[in-house]
A = this chain, B = another copy of it.
Amino acid sequence: MFFSRRFASQYAPRRLPPTIKELLGSNIPQETSVSLNGWIKSIRKQKRVSFAVISDGSNAKGIQAVFPNTLDVKDLTNGSSVRLTGNLVSSPGSGQAKELQVKAVDVLGACPQETYPIQKKDLTNEYLRENVHLRARTTAIAAMLRLRDCLHRSIHDYLKSQSFVHVHAPILTANDAEGAGETFRIAPVAAHPDAQVTETQCPTEFFGAPAHLTVSSQLHMEAFQAALSRVYTANPAFRAERSQTSRHLAEFWMVEPEWTLTEGITEVCDVTEDLLRDIVNRAFVECAEDVEALHAAGGRLERLEALKAAVSPDTPRWRRMTYTEAVETLQRTGVKFKQTPTWGASLSSEHERYLAEEVVKGPVFVTNYPREIKAFYMRVDDPSLPREQQTVSCFDLLVPHMGELVGGSVREERADVLEEKMREEGMILPEQSSNEGPYAWYLSLRKLGATPHGGFGLGFERLVSWVGDVDSVKECIPVPRTVGRIDL
Task: Using CB atoms and an 8 Å cutoff, list the residues of chain A in contact with chain B.
Answer: 8-11, 13-17, 19, 21-22, 37-40, 56-58, 79-81, 108-112, 115-116, 133-134, 136-137, 142, 145-146, 148-149, 152-153, 156, 160, 162-163, 165-175, 184-189, 203, 206-209, 211, 213, 219-220, 223-224, 226-230, 235-236, 238, 240, 250-251, 253, 259-260, 262, 267, 270-271, 274, 277-278, 313-317, 413, 441-442, 444-452, 477-479, 481, 483-488
Quick one: given A108-B451, A115-B448, A253-B168, are A314 and B206 in contact (CB under 8 Å)? no
Contact at B167–A478, with CB atoms within 8 Å? yes
Quick one: given A149-B167, A240-B189, are A80 and B449 in contact (CB under 8 Å)? yes
Task: Point out the residues of chain B lying under 8 angstroms from A163, CB to CB.
Answer: 16, 19, 21-22, 58
Contact at A449–B479, with CB atoms within 8 Å? no
Least CB distance from A141 to B in Å reads 8
Contact at A481–B170, with CB atoms within 8 Å? yes
Distance A1 CA – B279 CA, assembled complex (angstroms): 33
Q: Which of A170, A224, A259 has the most CB of B within 10 A?
A: A170
Task: Point out the residues of chain B lying under 8 angstroms from A229, CB to CB.
Answer: 19, 37-38, 56-58
Contact at B277–A11, with CB atoms within 8 Å? yes
Q: Which of A146, A485, A486 has the most CB of B within 10 A?
A: A486
Main SS at interface, chain A: loop
Partner of A206 from the list B40, B173, B184, B446 (CB cut-off 8 Å) is B184
Task: Point out the residues of chain B lying under 8 angstroms from A57, CB to CB.
Answer: 165, 227-230
Distance A483 CA – B451 CA, assembled complex (angstroms): 34
Partner of A136 from the list B9, B80, B228 (CB cut-off 8 Å) is B228
Partner of A186 from the list B160, B186, B236, B444 (CB cut-off 8 Å) is B186
This protein's copies in its complex: 2
Least CB distance from A24 to B in Å reads 13
Task: Point out the residues of chain B lying under 8 angstroms from A478, CB to CB.
Answer: 167-170, 220, 224
Task: Point out the residues of chain B lying under 8 angstroms from A137, CB to CB.
Answer: 226-227
Distance A115 CA – B449 CA, assembled complex (angstroms): 11
Distance A251 CA – B172 CA, assembled complex (angstroms): 8
Partner of A486 from the list B9, B19, B208, B451 (CB cut-off 8 Å) is B208
Residue of B nearest to A55 (CB): B227
Please give 13 more A-B residue pairs, beta carbons under 8 A apart, in addition to A16-B259, A136-B223, A170-B488: A15-B162, A37-B260, A40-B449, A81-B450, A134-B223, A145-B167, A174-B487, A184-B186, A184-B187, A206-B483, A207-B250, A207-B483, A207-B484
Distance A315 CA – B274 CA, assembled complex (angstroms): 44
Distance A226 CA – B145 CA, assembled complex (angstroms): 13
Quick one: given A173-B488, A484-B203, A488-B441, are A220 and B9 in contact (CB under 8 Å)? no
Contact at A39–B277, with CB atoms within 8 Å? no
Distance A9 CA – B447 CA, assembled complex (angstroms): 43
